[in-house]
Chain A
Amino acid sequence: MQKLVRILFIAALIGAAVWGWWVLFPSPERAIRSQLKKLSETVSFDAKEGTIPKGFKAQKLLDYLTVDVEISVNVREYPVHTLAGRDEVMQALLYAQSNFKGLQVKFLDINVTVGPDKQTATANLTGQATISGDRDLNIQELNFSLKKVEGKWMIYKIETVKTLSQLNRPAEFLLQ
């Protein structure tokens, strides 16, 4: 009986050590997934949220982005738009916070590819945004480019992906 207890104790100890290692030293892929999950929580807000928590979130957003971050948006209905630098991105979030009642962002189906140098990575994912009061789901495939800055994965580029490529409009309709 005592032997069994000893074996169980050693097994539990090994399990705890493995779990500790897993938590303290995550693989680049897991670290990036965790970073993206936190980012989605940071840009999301609900109607009840006050101005101070929203401002705190906008400030916190900077922790995930490099100084020269670039966000390139090319989606149907809207002209191509690029946000350059952290300040522009923060302004965009502040604009969303003041113009929408609430915004829930989710990153789904994240496929992470870490570069051979282990210092850069790309994440292909599906972004889902739900605006309070709007019954439509806004879904867009995105590519995130990340690099390691002082041991932390930071986003330096976000691009929209055309899941379905479009047909060109005839010249006479392009002029309209």
Chain B
Amino acid sequence: MNVKTGTERQMATDTKRSGFPYWLRVVLIGRNPKFTIIRIVVLVAVVFTMRAYVLLPIQIKGPSMLPTYQENGINFVNRLAYLRSEPRRGDVVAIRYSGESRLLMKRIIGLPGETIEFRSGQVFINGEKLDEPYMARDFTGDWNLGPEKLPPDKYYVVGDNRSMPERQHVKGEAERRRIVGKVLLCKNWFAFSSSQH
């Protein structure tokens, strides 16, 4: 004699009614479809809000931030980082072009009003050598620029890869309004291998 429990009876009824096995229904829409819908709506709203106002996901293209950030790495831009404070030296920031579909990822090395200069790849701020722990300790290169004083609302940004030819490296003075936010992770979270290599 077969005895069915309440759950088994429910499963059998549901399977008969919908044509789907009960376990598949649980996996797909949960035990309570109403709660599942509410959960989905809340999740979508949270993700949308985070994406629009808090964290902007980015994928890194190009070698200018090597070795700190690898190409094709995934990272996030914290849009709220400069809500109460101004960008600081050493911060890795995202800079926008005409919008946010494409961004530049650079490190701030010069602050508004400072005089900046490159001598053999070494950075000098107001005539003093800048200590850059993110660069190789004995790094020297052939970059020679400046000296030049930064305007009041501009930050000097550059990539960490100073072994690149200077003319091929995108760098320069960024207006404050173009800085979207601070890059969240100090290193890449993970990197996709590129089929273009």
A residues within 8 Å of B by Cβ?
A: 76-77, 108-111, 124-126, 128, 135-137, 139, 141, 161-170, 173
Contact = CB atoms under 8 A, between A and B. Distances in A.
B102 A108 contact: yes
Contacts of B95: 163-164
A170 B145 contact: yes
Contact of B178 (A125, A136, A163, A173): A163
Given A76-B167, A135-B196, A137-B61, A166 B100 contact: no
A139 to B, nearest CB: 5
A141 B170 CA distance: 13
Contacts of B144: 169-170, 173
Nearest to B71: A135
B167 A77 contact: yes
Contact of B102 (A76, A124, A139, A161): A139
Contact of B101 (A76, A109, A135, A167): A109
B184 interface: no
B8 interface: no
Interface in B94-110: 95, 97-102, 104
Interface in B118-174: 118, 144-146, 148, 154, 156-157, 167-168, 170-174
Contacts of A136: 62
Given A141-B97, A163-B178, A167-B156, 20 more contacts: A76-B167, A108-B102, A109-B100, A110-B98, A111-B99, A124-B98, A125-B98, A126-B98, A126-B102, A135-B196, A136-B62, A162-B172, A163-B97, A163-B104, A167-B116, A167-B172, A167-B173, A168-B146, A169-B145, A170-B144
Contacts of A109: 97-102
Most B-side CB within 10 Å, residue of A77, A108, A137, A161? A108
Given A162-B172, A163-B178, A164-B170, A126 B148 contact: no
Nearest to B117: A167
Contacts of B61: 137
Contacts of A169: 144-145
A125 B97 CA distance: 8
B98 A165 contact: no
Contacts of A126: 97-99, 101-102
Contacts of B172: 162, 164-167
A164 B100 contact: no
Nearest to A76: B167
A170 B147 CA distance: 8
Nearest to A140: B97
Nearest to A166: B172
B146 A170 contact: yes
